Chain A
Amino acid sequence: MIEVDQLSKSYGSTDAIKNVSFTVEPGEILGFLGPNGAGKTTTMRILTGYLPATTGTARVAGKDVHSESMAVRQNIGYLPETPPLYPEMTVEGFLHFVARIKGVSAGDRATKVVSAIERCNLQEKSDVIIRKLSKGFRQRVGIAQAIVHNPPVIVLDEPTVGLDPRQIIEVRNLIKRLAGEHTIILSTHILPEVSATCDRIAIINRGELITTDSPEHLVAKLTGQGYWVELAGNAERNMDILRQIPGVVRVEPVAGEALPEDHARFQVITGMEDLGSAIAAQVVSKGLSLFELKRNRASLEDVFINLTTTESAEVDSRDREVMDAGEIDEAIEEEDAAEMELRAEPIPPELASSEPISSEPISSEAINSEPATTEQPDIKPGTEENQT
């Protein structure tokens, strides 16, 4: 339905996107995931014919977005980042206007507008002036204008931004209902959103497409499945005992955490096998004093941080080659200082003594590559809890 081939767009000397290629099958929902400024909006604007690409081609429903722009525009519904609304119009009047300029014939217009209003649950607001609507309703009117002409392809740029948790769920359900008869691309920087709605994820960072895959595959791809074990006693001995468990790839002490005296935390990396019961059996049979055993499964967030930060770490190392040896030392020192700060920050003083800091398995690479971590998008781990 959508074929994007080697698409690049540059503004002057900066590349907004570089050689992005992907395809979307009919009826599929593709989630476009990336930090702010990664090039999501640019890609979407090219797809909708708003911006021309510098190089490369994009085809929607078999038609080139640039040379057959008018045909593509008729086949596409687009919700930009800020919903394009005329504040002085009523919801119904606005949808009629959009249906008209999208080329819906006069006979079909009324039914299509009513159907869009119903699908977006806007019945009680259809006569209200858009200026008087709340943010959530405006967003829904924005989605309604994208689907009013029943286009085969729908492009939604951050459709749930600024909505409250209940509205987010409603919008997600709406998007899921639309899939099947429509092909949908949606962009977001909120991770749970893609895992909740999308069939496939395209991760984009600094204008480059890093990967496209299903959410399950992406999680499975990430290595480092395993357990966190907190034990008291001789750390060296404990580590040896854990290493003896068949199937264990590696045991690493987890540093930098404020634990009670004599306690230590280890990361037991097990590959794809689930060794929970084996670890428990080993701990019991060797009489270790266990304080915590926790499964450490990569979340989509880990995948995301991993994929987007390795990228920036490479950039860092390239930068570093240019430096003199002395500068490198300095840089490393600075980096260490930054690292200390980063680690110290999340520990509230009252928790520091007793509780282990964070149950979030943030990989240490993510913390190490400091420029990337400060630039990280607002990934909202809280959002998932909010919905439930």
Chain B
Amino acid sequence: MKILFSNLLAIYRRELQSYFNSPLAYVIAAVFWLIGGLFMVTLLLSPDGVIAQSAALDQSGIQQNLDAPYEFLKFYLNLLGSLSMFILPMLSMGLYADERKQGTLELLATSPLTNWIVAVGKLLGVLTFYSAMLLPLLISQAVAFERSEPGFPGGLLLLGYGGLLLLAASVLSLGMFISSLSESTVLAAIMTFGLVLLLWIVEAIANAAGPFGTALSHLSLLSHYTDFTQGVFDTSGLILFLSYITLGIFLTAQSIDTLRFQRA
């Protein structure tokens, strides 16, 4: 058990190190911060923004309670989720494709490690990097919430970002599996993005009525994420996310095994 943990830590640390040493990862982070920051400024300060709307409601004298921080966070988390869908394939693309290209997969596969440990360590590594990408955005939100009235929606913040991390972990986990299928990072990124598009299509169908839509809505990652961002905690959502994560790890481990069995 101790050895397993030590192996996991070794893989995790190496993965994290490779992200923090990679220029590409910083470029991705910079784009993420730029667009994430723009979303926030637009949502808050534009003429249609949350602050302007709230002020208009106040002026009109209607005693309708607009919870501006709540509204803002709900919209913002949804936007951040959509933005992440573009960013995550680029984070997961190299997870295994690079190992295959560099030949280091052979090192990992001939070391006393199980495929599971490697996959879990890698997933934790990339998830940590994604969390690090979210941190600067959280700081700018903290600045905004400091002056907000009514105060800071702590519960929603926790639930929303928890949901965002679960969503990211699910997409990254499936992206990791796709990355293990090829030696090309570009191909892995494109295929993972294809998967994300599929998730959106599933979401669109799930929103439509009918028994098929209902069935799909139970399986849709995005609709469960929307529940989280609205402050609704749903155990089935949690289980669904965890299932997708496990599925990704399982498929990755299987795919590496298959690769070794079939390698010509």
B-contacting residues of A (Cβ < 8 Å)? Answer: 11, 45, 48-52, 70-71, 73-74, 76, 78, 80-89, 93, 97-98, 100-103, 106, 145
* Chain B minimum-CB-distance residue to A94: B14
**Chain B residues in 8 Å Cβ range of A71:** 112
Q: Are B18 and A101 in contact (CB under 8 A)?
A: no
In this complex, which of B3, B7, B106, B111 has the most chain A Cβ atoms within 10 angstroms of its Cβ? B111
In this complex, which of B3, B9, B10, B11 has the most chain A Cβ atoms within 10 angstroms of its Cβ? B10
Q: Are B112 and A85 in contact (CB under 8 A)?
A: no
Interface string of B100-122 (1 = CB under 8 A from A): 00111111111111000000000
Instruction: Please tell me the size bucket of the interface on B.
Output: 20 to 34
* Chain A minimum-CB-distance residue to B22: A88
Q: Residue B21 at the A interface, CB < 8 A?
A: yes
Q: Are A50 and B10 in contact (CB under 8 A)?
A: no
**Chain A residues in 8 Å Cβ range of B207:** none
Count A/B pairs, Cβ under 8 Å. Answer: 78
**Chain A residues in 8 Å Cβ range of B113:** 101
Q: How far is the CB of A148 from chain B (nearest CB, A)?
A: 11
Query: How far apart sit A49 and B112, CA to CA, in the bound complex (Å)?
Result: 10
**Chain A residues in 8 Å Cβ range of B11:** 101
Contact of A84 among B18, B21, B106, B261 (CB under 8 A): B106
In this complex, which of B13, B107, B109, B113 has the most chain A Cβ atoms within 10 angstroms of its Cβ? B107
19 A-B pairs in the complex with CB atoms less than 8 angstroms apart: A45-B106, A45-B263, A49-B109, A51-B263, A70-B112, A78-B106, A82-B103, A84-B102, A84-B103, A84-B106, A88-B22, A97-B10, A97-B14, A100-B6, A100-B7, A101-B10, A102-B111, A103-B112, A106-B6
**Chain A residues in 8 Å Cβ range of B109:** 49-50
Q: Are A80 and B106 in contact (CB under 8 A)?
A: yes
Q: Are B106 and A85 in contact (CB under 8 A)?
A: no
Contact of A88 among B9, B21, B106, B108 (CB under 8 A): B21
**Chain B residues in 8 Å Cβ range of A106:** 6
**Chain B residues in 8 Å Cβ range of A84:** 102-107
Interface residues of B in 1-23 (CB under 8 A from A): 3, 6-7, 9-11, 13-14, 17-18, 21-22
Q: Residue B260 at the A interface, CB < 8 A?
A: yes
With A11-B264, A78-B110, A86-B18 known, 5 other A-B pairs at CB within 8 A are A50-B106, A51-B261, A80-B106, A82-B102, A103-B112
A-contacting residues of B (Cβ < 8 Å)? Answer: 3, 6-7, 9-11, 13-14, 17-18, 21-22, 102-113, 260-264
Query: How far apart sit A102 and B113, CA to CA, in the bound complex (Å)?
Result: 8
Q: Are B112 and A83 in contact (CB under 8 A)?
A: no
Q: Are B112 and A86 in contact (CB under 8 A)?
A: no
Q: Are A101 and B111 in contact (CB under 8 A)?
A: yes
**Chain A residues in 8 Å Cβ range of B17:** 88-89, 93
**Chain B residues in 8 Å Cβ range of A70:** 112
Q: Are A74 and B112 in contact (CB under 8 A)?
A: yes
* Chain A minimum-CB-distance residue to B6: A100
Q: Are A86 and B110 in contact (CB under 8 A)?
A: no
Query: How far apart sit A101 and B3, CA to CA, in the bound complex (Å)?
Result: 9
* Chain B minimum-CB-distance residue to A96: B10
**Chain A residues in 8 Å Cβ range of B106:** 45, 50, 78, 80, 84
**Chain A residues in 8 Å Cβ range of B21:** 88-89
Q: Are B102 and A50 in contact (CB under 8 A)?
A: no
Q: Are B104 and A86 in contact (CB under 8 A)?
A: yes
**Chain A residues in 8 Å Cβ range of B9:** 100
**Chain B residues in 8 Å Cβ range of A93:** 17
In the complex with contacts A86-B18, A89-B17, A101-B10, A73-B110 CB distance below 8 A: yes
**Chain A residues in 8 Å Cβ range of B111:** 73, 98, 101-102
Query: How far apart sit A378 and B26, CA to CA, in the bound complex (Å)?
Result: 45
**Chain A residues in 8 Å Cβ range of B103:** 80-84
Q: Are B107 and A88 in contact (CB under 8 A)?
A: no
* Chain B minimum-CB-distance residue to A87: B102
